[in-house]
Amino acid sequence: MPLFITYASYSQSGVKGMVDSPSDRADAISGLLEKAGAKLVALYMTTGTNDLVLVSEASDGADTVALGMAVGSTGSLSNIETVRAWTSAEFVDIAKKAGGLVGSYTPPGS
């Protein structure tokens, strides 16, 4: 199943909720992922630009976008970004495909 990496930050209300009632969010997040047919691979709380990094498996990127929208609608997270991830070995086929397309595109104004 494809891997997705989600980056997000807690909003002010999300931080308040964590401070008022500290809890490990892994079970809640895992349950939501399972409801959408996805699986939690890893969850990390981080410092810097993002407060959390989530690695999940899902059959379709639309599932992960829907999950981000559902969570974002609560107002507890902001700056939610989900990207598709490939292993280095998987990416070789993508690079080969790109090589076959080189020269096939005509840039604007050319």
Among 6, 74, 14, which Cα is nearest to 41's?
A: 6
Percent of the chain with pLDDT over 70: 100
Residue 12, pLDDT > 90, answer yes
- Does 106 reside within a domain? no
Quick one: pLDDT at residue 110?
A: 86
Q: Residue 77's domain is classified under what CATH number?
A: 3.30.70.1060
Beta strand 77-85 with 3-10 is antiparallel
Q: pLDDT tens for residues 69-79? A: 999 999 999 99
Q: Which two tokens stand for residue 79?
A: 């700056």
Q: What is the pLDDT of residues 26-54, one digit of tens each?
A: 999 999 999 999 999 999 999 999 999 99
Distances in whole angstroms, Cα of residue 98 to Cα of each of 61, 102, 103, 104: 21, 6, 10, 10
- How many domains does the chain contain in total? 1
Please check whether residue 75 lies inside any domain of the structure: yes
Domain with 12 in it:
3-101
What global pTM score does this model have?
Answer: 0.86
Residue 110 counted as domain residue: no
108 falls within a domain: no
64 domain-assigned = yes
pLDDT at 60: 87
Q: Are 39 and 59 in contact (CB under 8 A)?
A: no
